[in-house]
Structure 1
């Protein structure tokens, strides 16, 4: 599209102020060209698709300025249902458009705070109205356009639906029915738009999942694939070089010695329960700094203080401004829980100061443990201060009360806490925020280097779960190296699956892979794999299947050697029999052979009986076998129901990965068996079967065992397997 766009006062000022790069300019220009050329509505919107906290607001504000220069008179911005976010958006707009506002060329209004009567002089300006998406606000907007100032209804309007994935297509829990049902506000917007002479509609979202939602009454019959509901046009928000997203937390974290592999710190479910309500029997003042039951929150608090001071020492060394830092505790919405968590954090700070004065040896030990943890992820090209300097800086920080602990759990609190730019204000060098729903709503918090997260992932959908922890956004890598993320393994696993799900949908949508189609499936009561309507899936239960993916048990111990040995004798004999009666043996790797799927199912059941799963870890064997069944049946008749076995013996892998003190999750080496498995698994899946010696010195119980890894075929198209669905 080559339509020449006018560039006037509105966009020129923004461009000068923000120094947009060529990719950002291209996105903004294409967005406005398409808005001018296409007919758009809430059912077929223009779309700005970006990543979470990746600069979507920057992009749509730039597009607004260009739209004003090209005939649009008024922009109506719908935000998520949060007064605080309305305020944040309002403040951002006033800041960005300050020059044209001062020249009386533009006015920004919060619909809840509009003057009682606008004069013609005011109505002739370019206008922005910001409102949260709720019924009464829609009624206010309708009255504003068609009763109070009907001259506006004849002008060229642009609706911008910010974070469209939250409210235009959103889920809410209906307790009476104990179900989750789709709620659509877009109809109200369409009613308003139908009365307008000239209006355009732009959605801004970070979650491509909503594009795959189909009408509730759609008959799917035998079709398993879903194409996204194509918007009138889609522009992708460019990802800037400082962006930190799911790749860092869930992919780079798997790379040995990468700074990201130290980001995640596991906490126990029991600790979340302790922090859910006041319990002074289990949390006593005198044992706050030693109680193993609250080790997670204690190390989180100390690590935050130490990390903040390390960054300040690094900044001082480089002659840079000393930044202020933030930490979030976000576990539930209950105000009583927030108060209890604040009590614990404040008391912990007091005990640290007391220990500093009365027991310097123990204080040094606490700070040294934190220092050593953070030093593991230091960057080779960034100065790392000595322990002596860090210790002195931490002591000074505590004595000067640089740590501020605040509860953020109501709209009023957030409005009072926002700074001039609409971000949560950082008043002191170290700011610890404790909150609930308000922190769900997209409020921007700068310089976050700590997240303590405990919301229940079974109770909400994917568009909120990744936003909850506020993990993503523009972050200096020097900050990322000292960032720590604290949650349970159960929650981390759900978030990891959701990240993968989001990434695969985004890739299918952006690249048009497989025609943009994605397969949604589930297992029925008869263990058959059947199509699943995307509207009906619970995203906390999904698994994404793609080419070359591994499925394996993690977080287990074996049975005691005496109990393990007889079971292993049977498994060894079974494996030997499978090998001797194989359908085919690979000519290049004689240890690899083809067998029937039913043999693999029986083998996996036997292996599962040799494991004892660690608390909060599980091997959902039934689900893995259901996915294996799907992978083996989606083939041509000659390959159907078959699996390659890649056998390796005499292996010695440790139970715990020493670098991160976490459970080992890579029993298959990439240069040997995983490489062979991916080569063989072209149309049928492979099962890597490593026979581990299970040595005591490596954390096992002295008995040999098998560690299986399912590898999906190269031909696997993006497939979403839903373990649980909504009925």
Structure 2
């Protein structure tokens, strides 16, 4: 059976360019790495693309190609999030079982895994210590796995999989179980996936988690990523808020902008419009910001007929230039905003570990989403065009900042986006984007990436890097190689 072509045929009807991209990724990895696999060793690889640029579709293509090249047993690992695991399972079941003849198992489907027959089988598991321990024991007692290769796909492989106790000469729990699962088979391919590969590329070879091959896939044309948002010449949609001291005043400006954008989207047929507010990892700050938005929304709702409010709406209206729909008349925008305010057709949603709000509440209507760590990996928001980001740290980490911004994606409208942010934070993102571009260029050229950041910006959390083997170069110092490659003045110049 031609698993890859069957999978691609279903995608071509929706997005031909995406199908071609997936085919190129699957065929290249298949030819360069999978077809050369010796079926008696354990190989670690890395598939990375931009954040929220369609990694799942790409890796499904690789899985289909792997089946054609002799692999039958697959494990797909997700981050430790119940909703995300369920979402990933349902998508895997739809794309690979219903449309392509796979047997897809969730965490409770041991019997289904055992009775898969001759069909390729894939288990979708959370990276949760209890779940991994249970499946480690289950897989030990499944005879079919013995003597056969195992193909493991680790989504967000830099998030929880690495050994966080490497500098204590110990092994962290998740990493321990992943090692055991990998070693259950006589051979395996472990494919890491992420949009922020810094911690993976900085692993030592002796750790066993450094990728032996790396493949980068480019995003599609509709994707808005780092090169769009973070430039040395600041784009017009970026609004620095350094001079603002009143949180309620900033909230008012964010609200006006988002109401206009939402009205434009709803008038063009959209069902949802999201604004993301990321002030801090602290939950007390989330509640403080919520109160600021509640007060500002109450005043806007009460005073929406006043002249000043209408003038503020007109100013924002003049600044938008939608690319994906025809710009509505201001009269229609104003009427839609008034309707939303008078009927209270908007929500403030707080997403953190103690909140009762759920991401599902952001699937329709006009929403102001406030949160911190819960806004990170795997969480997606449709029609997200308004961003208010102020989270700061004494020792910021490039990969964490990039993942938690949630700013990138395909359904953003370049003529509607806006970013409210302090200037120093924006400059940090510019630096991260420049380094990301450098990493991509080095990978595409087949070179071992070198990663460098200025100031106190770290590439990743230091707990997963072996400090005894890490070579750190500090800015402001002179370094002289013991064996320079260039030894003449002409070569140097």
**TM-score relative to the length of structure 2:** 0.81
Q: Does the residue aligned with 1:21 lie in a helix, a strand or coil?
A: helix
Where do residues 252-651 of structure 1 align in structure 2 (5 Å cutoff)? 254=233, 261-268=235-242, 292-313=246-267, 315=268, 321-357=269-305, 360-372=306-318, 374-375=319-320, 378=321, 383-410=326-353, 417-418=359-360, 425-428=362-365, 430-475=366-411, 479-512=413-446, 515-516=447-448, 518=450, 626=476
Gaps of 5+ in 1: 1-5, 219-228, 256-260, 272-291, 316-320, 419-423, 524-532, 544-622, 640-681, 684-714, 716-727
The alpha carbon displacement at 1:542 in A equals 10
* 1:12/1:473 CA distance change after superposition, 3 Å: same
Measured in 1, the distance between the counterparts of 2:308 and 2:72 equals: 65
Alpha carbons 1:76, 1:159 under 8 Å: kept: yes
The alpha carbon displacement at 1:334 in A equals 3.1
Alpha carbons 2:239, 2:421 under 8 Å: kept: yes
Aligned residues: 471
Where do residues 111-190 of structure 1 align in structure 2 (5 Å cutoff)? 111=107, 114-115=108-109, 117-118=111-112, 121-122=115-116, 125-147=119-141, 149-169=142-162, 185-190=174-179
* 1:37/1:330 CA distance change after superposition, 3 Å: same
The alpha carbon displacement at 1:393 in A equals 2.0
Aligned residue number for residue 58 of structure 1: 57
Gaps of 5+ in 2: 13-17, 456-463
Q: Does 1:202 align with 2:191?
A: yes
* 1:635/1:193 CA distance change after superposition, 3 Å: closer
* 1:120/1:184 CA distance change after superposition, 3 Å: closer
Alpha carbons 2:50, 2:195 under 8 Å: kept: yes
Q: 1:209-263: per-residue Cα shift (whole Å, max 9, x none)? A: 2354153999xxxxxxxxxx97343332232111111101112x727xxxxx122
The alpha carbon displacement at 1:69 in A equals 4.2
Measured in 1, the distance between the counterparts of 2:76 and 2:174 equals: 14
Measured in 2, the distance between the counterparts of 1:635 and 1:72 equals: 44
Aligned residue number for residue 38 of structure 1: 37
Q: 1:383-440: per-residue Cα shift (whole Å, max 9, x none)? A: 43343332222112222333122122239957x544xxxxx74122x12212222211
RMSD: 4.1
Measured in 2, the distance between the counterparts of 1:306 and 1:42 equals: 57
The alpha carbon displacement at 1:138 in A equals 2.5
Q: 1:286-325: per-residue Cα shift (whole Å, max 9, x none)? A: xxxxxx5533222112101111212344x3xxxxx33421
More relative contact order, 1 or 2 (CA 8 Å, 6+ apart): 2
Measured in 1, the distance between the counterparts of 2:131 and 2:394 equals: 31
Alpha carbons 1:457, 1:491 under 8 Å: kept: no
Larger gyration radius, structure 1 or structure 2: 1
1:246 to 210, 223, 226: 226
The alpha carbon displacement at 1:267 in A equals 2.3
Measured in 2, the distance between the counterparts of 1:254 and 1:119 equals: 54
* 1:204/1:396 CA distance change after superposition, 3 Å: same
